[in-house]
Structure 1
Amino acid sequence: MSDIEVPESHPRYQSLLTRHRIEDGVEKGITSPQGLIAQGRGEAFDYLLGERTLPSVDRAERVAAAHLLRARHPVLSVNGNVAALVPDELITLAEATGADLEVNLFNRTEERIHAIVDHLREHGACEVKGTTADERIPGLDHERAKVDADGIYDADVVLVPLEDGDRAQALAEMGKTELVIDLNPLSRSPQTAAVPIIDNVIRALPNITTHARDLADASSDQLDDVIAGFDPETVLTETERAIRTGGD
């Protein structure tokens, strides 16, 4: 048993666990009610993918790890659903890659920002950005435009799990290398990403961390070799095919 009253042997255990974490996040003020809808949409795509990480996606996760390790200033962007679902995994990945954590929300209030920051600190994060919001991403009129000048605004590589498509496009237009985790290969976020990761965030973050640890002692040239030749279109095409054929 875990933090829900469902045995781990239950065939839908992982799905029920993630739903519970989102519900709990809403109660704590971490996630918004809209996050429940987003979670359900993602689950549908994951079900069609066979709830597994495809080989091409695992390669993308290794490339993402190389980008984070090679970066001048990597940042992991955190929204409410990500904070509720994988707080420990976020912190572990940040430690493995030297990345900053920054909270960024569409439905932004100071209460939610501080609730997420406190939540991450309770899970062991030492520093979490996102409260200053002293810069804006050009071209966006909503609250996700607000970023820290010494965080996402300055970053050269940004991991953006469960991202809004317009902000993904705006970050790309700023010249940032975007690593996008999204279960829908047809959405704008992975379509604009340098590295689209079509995977469930609960699998993707641990996978990227594993690759980052494996590459920890790699030279810059070796990391460049991992990154070189990566084709985002291959990931998008293969995952769309898997979804259309029921995971085969």
Structure 2
Amino acid sequence: MTEIPKDHPRYAALMVRDRLTEAMWAKLVAPEGLIAQGRGEAFDYLLGEQTTESAARAELAAAAMLLSAERPVISVNGNTAALCAHQLAALQEASGAAVEVNLFHRTEERMAKITALLEEHGVAVLTGTSERLIPLSHDRALCLPEGIGGADLVLVPLEDGDRCEALRRMGKKVITIDLNPLSRTAQTATLAVIDEVTRAVPAITTACRTLSDDEVRALAADVDNRVFLEEALRTMARRLEEVADALE
């Protein structure tokens, strides 16, 4: 990994890039995953590379939904595993959710490597014989009956539009973590957390550990994704105006 000085103004973002690049060479992350990361970074610029007040409220709602679900499952791809395997272990412990690896660019080698990485960091990963249970023509359709196939709620970190739509059509609730409020994933999810994944996952974990039963019931019963999308877009628009005004 490149030596990045900790006083660099974009230290966190550059460390993320390095971890993903290293993971790509280790065949954990598909090369296309680097493109997805770059797209997300562009939207994070518009948020000031920080968790907004709206995103913080969405993270509370996400925790409440996880705790309220009967069969919650966290779906993990290569990028998510490379960036926050240890954070996923904490979220699994706090929420009681199962964890399943699900990939678009699926090979048995990548499935095994990602599973091993997660297990090294303390995640209990569901394994077994996957079946084509999601109505899709590609390999994201493959999942476990005792995992995503039987879940009533799926947490999908990072963009995954067509599967998000398919899961919703199956009657499942979907929480997504996606920096792009315009994506099909964010638009079709039950709840979109518009935040960077390494900020969002620990925030959801903390909420899972601290919300009272009354707070969980109230938050889970009052989720309106349109509100969070609108607030994210307005935040980005205001930031663009502020930057433009500063140039005058």
TM-score normalised by L of structure 2: 0.93
For residues 160 and 7 of structure 2, what CA distance do their matches in structure 1 show? 34
In 2, are the aligned partners of 1:113 and 1:130 still within 8 Å (CA)? no
For residues 39 and 130 of structure 1, what CA distance do their matches in structure 2 show? 27
User: Per residue, is there more helix in 1 or in 2?
Assistant: 2
User: Structure 1 residue 129: deviation in Å?
Assistant: 2.1
In 2, are the aligned partners of 1:72 and 1:156 still within 8 Å (CA)? yes
User: Structure 1 residue 16: deviation in Å?
Assistant: 0.7
**Which residue does the alignment assign to 1:69?**
67
Unaligned runs of 5+ in 1: none
**Which residue does the alignment assign to 1:59?**
57
User: Structure 1 residue 134: deviation in Å?
Assistant: 2.5
For residues 215 and 18 of structure 2, what CA distance do their matches in structure 1 show? 41
TM-score normalised by L of structure 1: 0.93
CA RMSD of aligned residues (A): 1.4
**Residue-by-residue CA offset, 1:185-212 (whole Å, 9 max, x unaligned):** 0101111111110000010001100111
**Which residue does the alignment assign to 1:191?**
187
Q: Where has structure 1 moved over 4 Å in runs of 4 or more?
A: none
For residues 13 and 128 of structure 2, what CA distance do their matches in structure 1 show? 32
For residues 70 and 184 of structure 1, what CA distance do their matches in structure 2 show? 26
**Which residue does the alignment assign to 1:12?**
10
1:81 counterpart = 2:74: no
**Which residue does the alignment assign to 1:108?**
106
In 1, are the aligned partners of 2:192 and 2:225 still within 8 Å (CA)? yes
Write the mapping of 1:121-132 to structure 2, written as runs, cut at 5 A. Answer: 121-125=119-123, 127-129=124-126, 131-132=128-129
For the residue of structure 2 that corresponds to 1:238, the secondary structure is helix
Number of residue pairs the alignment of both structures matches: 241
Percent of aligned pairs with the same amino acid: 51
User: Structure 1 residue 28: deviation in Å?
Assistant: 1.2
1:232 counterpart = 2:231: no
In 1, are the aligned partners of 2:68 and 2:220 still within 8 Å (CA)? no
Unaligned runs of 5+ in 2: 243-248
The code of the aligned residue for 2:163 comes to R
Which of the residues 89, 92, 103 maps onto 1:91? 89
User: Structure 1 residue 111: deviation in Å?
Assistant: 0.6
**Residue-by-residue CA offset, 1:70-114 (whole Å, 9 max, x unaligned):** 111111100010011111111110110111110000000111000
User: Structure 1 residue 245: deviation in Å?
Assistant: 2.8
Instruction: Point out the more displaced range, 4-13 or 59-68.
Output: 4-13
Q: 1:4 to 1:124 in 2, by over 3 A?
A: farther
Q: 1:169 to 1:180 in 2, by over 3 A?
A: same
**Which residue does the alignment assign to 1:45?**
43
